[in-house]
Structure 1
Amino acid sequence: MYALLVLCMLVVAAAAQSTTVPTSNIIDLLTTRRLTTLLNLIQQAGLTDTLKGPGPFTLFAPSETSLGNLDATDTAKVTALMKYHVANGQYQRADLYNEESLTSLQANQSIRVNYYISKGVITIEGQAIQSSDHVLSNGVVHFIKGVMMPPAGTVLDVVSKDGNLTTLASAIKSAMLDNFFQDQKPITLFAPTDDAFNKLGSATVQGLIADPALLKSVLQYHVVPGTIYRAAFRTTYLPTFEEADKIRIHNFFFFGYEADDGGMVDDELSATNGVVQRIDTVLIPSSLSDQVKALTAGATTAA
């Protein structure tokens, strides 16, 4: 009888504990963890009282290391960036699904969620969640790997604004793919840099420009359906919009990533309809290789 009484008391205590509402707020958690860089930026952005308030909010908290690389001299930019890391509403890990769009505190800027089941990885605007579901009185905190950068327009906008993708921007226009890169979603573009086109050779580039149909197929080979950030990369083959060929993605653990034989350079760039991954080589699908080689051969013969 005594044992039964003790068991009942333990069950009641456990139930009471499980329904206890946290009394700490978001700022309390950050303070307890001594995340001084993040706290200072939140203070600079005028968000301290907000994140002490009733909420509910979801804070995607970047690592202190990644925040240390930010230029904090421009308060307006800091404010916009910190607001972008806070979503209205409480979203625990179980609430997050692929291509979900969360409303941030930064006006007209939504936050993209991607859930890569094959790797068990959830990314928030490309940054992997490293520690999740820190539930508090006014919301929840997820700790993410790095700083999220808001999308700078569509994939077409991102390419057009990048000073290292000028040849690609011209090629997209020549192939009449402007609307495709503006409207198609979600997509991942493996974007050859200007140096990549230089490696291909001016004769081949000019030949492609003169053959819009072939150029279109080559460019579509650089596009994969879905938003695929590097946190989700694994060695695999992915379908492309060129359809006849698949692109090979390879993850070199400590040495970076490749799309076919094109190494990825610089940071990935979020877009409102996907992501841009810059690469150092123009990729030629096997089904089109003979046609592309013929461009160079024809130019050599004509010379």
Structure 2
Amino acid sequence: MATRSIVFLTLCLLPFSYGQYDVYLPDLAAKLGATIFAEFIYNSSLGQPLSSPGPMTMFAPNNSAFSKLSPAVIKLLDTNTTEIVNVILYHVLNEELRIDNNTENDMLVGTLAGPSIRINVYPVYKNRKFTHNVTTVCGKVVVSPDNEADNGILHVLDGVLFPPPGTIMTAVRKCPELSILTKGLIDIGLNDMLEGDGPLTIFAPTNAAFNKLPADLLQKLLSNTTAMKEVLTYHICVGTHFTQGFLANQFSDRLQTLSTGYVTVNVTETYAMVNNIKITYPDINASNGVVHGMDTVLLPHKRQYGT
């Protein structure tokens, strides 16, 4: 898909001259502090195609966004042309999209890489009064919206976007450390829901999380689908709740789960928590929502489970 997008852009490239802004999207990204992203664009030979007449929309991660990535990921982007091209094109839309009061929450928009990005709008309250909206793209905050270039609009992000591995269920299946969760979801019949359109949020306990449970409780969950269903539905919420949205849940810090209960969510300056349990692997982007990896199983009615 990425290769076809490059060919399409190249074939459609026409002679052009600067317009009223005297800048095209790749150069505007550099001017606005996304110099690493701009360098990746030019090193991957996408500078000219992404300077074509457009209109396009570019989501440009700032330099601090790349500093959050692991050295292994940076090395992959530096050395794997196919990978970096796919990542760059996942940041570009073949249309003009502004961030304004008409931006819808949980909106999906197709990218030049193929998979869609998900835009969320979270209202922020202070002292129970609305102050402003925070807009995210696949969970990354738009820190500078609606910057205009001659061939489109550029939004600066505080994080790098990576195409999703597929649906929530696909993401769970692909992770060996989530094999107990995967089997549990299939056994209780939730796999079809997690393969659907969503949007959904799942707090996904790892195998280590299940193995931390008392042996008798773990055995009960593994052998009793009713008990497993009660626990696993307590880990799933309707809607896409990235960590940026946790503190913006109206006047409450609670999220309704698929079971009869709520989970309590909050964030510190460095991490997010659910029921006072740290989210170990937050904001894993999926095509139909988001996955948060947990190293502890959430139990809906603690007294019932003997904890």
TM superposition score category, shorter chain reference = 0.7 to 0.9
Q: Report the equivalent of 1:129.
A: 142
Where does residue 119 of structure 2 map in the other structure?
A: 113
Give, as a single letter, the amino acid of the residue that structure 2 aligns with 1:104.
Answer: T
Q: Within 2, Cα distance between the matches of 1:285 and 1:31? A: 48
| Structure 1 position 251 matched with structure 2 position 267 | yes
- Against the structure 1 CA distance between its residues 184 and 24, is the aligned structure 2 distance closer, same or farther, given a 3 Å change threshold? closer
Contact kept in structure 1, 2:93 and 2:111, CA below 8 Å: yes
Q: Does 1:141 align with 2:154?
A: yes
Q: Is the aligned partner of 1:103 residue 2:110?
A: yes
The 1:128/1:31 distance shift into structure 2, 3 A limit, reads closer
Between the aligned partners of 1:117 and 1:188, the Cα distance in structure 2 is 18
Tell me the TM-score normalized by structure 2: 0.82
Q: Note closer, same or farther for the CA distance 1:34–1:131 as it changes in structure 2 (3 Å cut).
A: closer
The answer on whether the counterparts of 2:253 and 2:266 sit within 8 Å (CA) in structure 1 is yes
Structure-2 residue corresponding to 1:233 = 246
Is this contact kept in 2: 1:267–1:277, CA < 8 A? yes
Structure 1 vs Structure 2 CA RMSD? 1.9
Aligned ranges 1:241-280 → 2 under 5 Å: 241-242=258-259, 244-252=260-268, 254-280=269-295
Structure 2: how far apart are the matches of 1:248 and 1:32?
Answer: 41
Q: Which amino acid aligns with 1:164?
A: E
In our comparison, the structure showing a higher alpha carbon Rg is 1
2:158 is aligned with 1:151: no
Q: How many angstroms apart in 2 are the aligned matches of 1:193 and 1:22?
A: 50
What residue in structure 2 maps to residue 205 of structure 1?
Answer: 218
Q: Mapping of 1:1-303 within 5 angstroms?
A: 21-33=20-32, 35-67=34-66, 69=69, 70-71=74-75, 72-94=78-100, 96-106=103-113, 108-118=114-124, 120-183=133-196, 185-234=198-247, 236-242=253-259, 244-252=260-268, 254-286=269-301, 289-293=302-306
Q: Within 2, Cα distance between the matches of 1:77 and 1:194? A: 30
Can you list the C-alpha shifts for 1:100-139, whole angstroms capped at 9, x where unaligned? 1112111x31111111123611111111100111011110
Q: Contact 1:261/1:281 (CA < 8 Å) preserved in 2?
A: no
Distance (whole Å) between structure 2 residues aligned to residue 76 and residue 103 of structure 1 = 19
Structure 1 unmatched ranges of 5 or more:
1-19, 297-303
* CA–CA separation in structure 2 for the residues paired with 1:208 and 1:240: 19
1:90/1:208 CA distance change after superposition, 3 Å: same
The superposition leaves residues 80-100 of structure 1 with CA deviations (integer Å, 9 ceiling, x where unpaired) of: 000001111111112532111
Q: CA deviation at 1:22?
A: 2.6
Question: Which structure shows the bigger proportion of residues in helix conformation?
Answer: 1
Q: Which moved more, 1:202-211 or 1:213-222?
A: 202-211
* Residue pair 2:56, 2:94 contacting (<8 A) in 1 also: yes
State the distance in 1 between where 2:195 and 2:217 align.
26
> What's the secondary structure of 1:224's corresponding residue?
strand
Q: How far apart are residue 146 of structure 1 and its match?
A: 0.7
Structure 1 residues 32 and 219: alpha-carbon distance in aligned structure 2, compared to 1, 3 A threshold: closer
For structure 2, list consecutive stretches of 5 or more residues without a partner in the other structure. 1-18, 126-132
Deviation at 1:196, TM superposition (A): 1.1
What count of residue pairs does the alignment treat as equivalent? 270
Task: Say which SS state the counterpart of residue 58 (structure 2) adopts.
Answer: strand
Whether the 8 Å CA contact 1:188–1:225 is kept in 2: the answer is: yes
CA distance in 2 between partners of 1:34 and 1:227 (Å)? 29
Q: SS where residue 50 of structure 2 aligns?
A: helix
Identity of aligned residues (%): 30
Q: Cα gap change, 1:73/1:167 in structure 2, threshold over 3 Å: closer, same or farther?
A: same
